Structure 1
């Protein structure tokens, strides 16, 4: 079976400083995969490389069977790869509805695409705040908007980079429940986060990186059975 996303030997550098040293990663359709590791170990650089925001120095990245490591970020996005970025990065001077409308597309060709009404059903708080500007939202509401905005593109693969960072526990759980719902609908997802216990309940394929290298890969049962891995490489 052809992988939805297959990364082999990915190397990325910023100038003369190399960050990634041969990253391998595979995500099949319907997977919820996680990318784990301490801060500064290369997780966000991996995401930036997948999205075309950081140019790969070596290795290959295949998305839906097509090599993308030399394509522009715009071209990759149009192929159906969407991100909820670290720091949210919503448009502060657009309303909630305008933020969502700006990203409306049907990149995976589904007959039941994400619409504003579907996003509002997933996040009722956004419906209540639909006329508010992005800079008038709380941090949790901005994160909901960032997730909804990415879903409006109807991506084949949704990437979340530290989607629950800095959120209150109740709001964080709301985001997790949203991801549970998306998983149940068959959405393929790559999650970067530090809450291993919650990720074990959500994901089925896990990768740990340390200093730009993959140090462990496996399924949920194997990761759950070895808490020593968490302490050694994730710090929990």
Structure 2
């Protein structure tokens, strides 16, 4: 069994008086790819925001590499090696592609073959072609490539993608899936939020489905692939 990288236990969160998460449990081992699935508004992004320190937990715990991180500031969590590709990408619009990529470059994991500009350019050649363009001059697909490349430049222990391919053209989605498969092959641990279940069962090791802020199903890819009633019941597929 792989070393536990991320462990969320009993996580609760709220927006003011409105509770959104009700005891979320989730575990990811080193080198694993996991998904967080559910219809819109069911708590996926809130879970991501809470584990990244962008909103406080009301109860429960988040452990990353064995240490509690709930209550830590987002920049502290990022320095521990958790890299978030947020919904909406959130790249810096007035910085160039090159500047976006190098702004937070680091080797959080101390890996011998770290992600560098050259490696990111090899993964996404379009970013090299657009190196001098500002972030707000890029297409949505290019912005997503840049957001992923920027996260990889921190050489994280865990890469988290919220709505990995939302709103992207089919060809661009295929490029993102290709990228994630390549990262998996390298042993990069990944947590993915996305709606394309048929692609995720071929990519991820295990899945967590949430409904109204609660975990309603967890299991491995073969089990999810074999029970499409789950897709219809909880994912609207």
Q: TM-score, normalised by structure 2?
A: 0.98
Unaligned runs of 5+ residues in structure 2 are none
Contact 2:211 2:234 in 1 (8 A): yes
2:58 is paired with a residue of what secondary structure? Answer: strand
In structure 2, C-alpha distance between the alignment counterparts of 1:35 and 1:77, rounded to whole Å? 20
Determine the structure 2 residue equivalent to 1:223: 224
What residue number does 2:15 align with?
A: 14
CA distance in 2 between partners of 1:201 and 1:2 (Å): 22
* Counterpart Cα distance in 2 of 1:148 and 1:35: 22
Unaligned regions of 5+ residues in structure 1, if any? none
Structure 1 residues 81-230: aligned runs within 5 Å: 81-230=82-231
Q: How does 1:17-56 map to 2 (within 5 A)?
A: 17-56=18-57
List per-residue Cα deviations over 1:154-186 (Å, max 9, x = no partner).
000000000201000000000000000000000
CA RMSD of aligned residues (A): 0.7
**8 Å contact 1:5–1:27 — kept in the other structure?**
yes
- Could you tell me how far apart the structure 2 residues matched to 1:169 and 1:74 are? 33
The alignment of Structure 1 onto Structure 2 pairs a total of residues equal to 236
Query: For residues 3 and 182 of structure 2, what CA distance do their matches in structure 1 show?
Result: 25
Match of 2:76 in 1: 75
- CA distance, structure 2, for counterparts of residue 99 and residue 230 of structure 1: 37
**C-alpha distance in structure 2 between counterparts of 1:74 and 1:103, whole Å:** 11
Structure 1: distance between partners of 2:56 and 2:85: 20
4+ residue segments displaced more than 2 Å: none
Q: 2-side partners of 1:138 and 1:158: how far apart?
A: 22
Kept in 1: contact 2:21–2:213 (CA 8 A): yes
Deviation at 1:79, TM superposition (A): 0.2
State the shift of 1:112 in Å: 1.1
What SS does the corresponding residue of 2:100 show, helix, strand or coil?
helix
- Give the distance between the partners of 2:39 and 2:225, measured in 1 at CA: 18
